[in-house]
Amino acid sequence: QVQLVQSGGGLVQPGGSLRLSCAASGSIFSIYAMAWFRQAPGKQQELVAVITSGGPTNYTDSVKGRFTISRDNAKNTVDLQMNSLRPEDTALYYCNAVITPGGSTLRREYWGQGTQVTVSS
Q: What is the mean pLDDT of the chain?
A: 96
Average pLDDT over residues 45-57: 93
Q: For residue 85, which of 105, 69, 65, 55 has the smallest C-alpha distance?
A: 65
pLDDT per residue as tens digits for the range 55-64: 899 999 999 9
Share of the chain above pLDDT 90, in %: 93
Task: Write a three-state SS string for 30-76.
Answer: EEEEEEEEEECCCCCCEEEEEECCCCCEEECHHHCCCEEEEEECCCC
The yes-or-no verdict on residue 54 having pLDDT over 90 is: no
The yes-or-no verdict on residue 110 having pLDDT over 90 is: yes
Average pLDDT over residues 9-21: 97
Terminal Cα-to-Cα distance of the chain (whole angstroms): 41
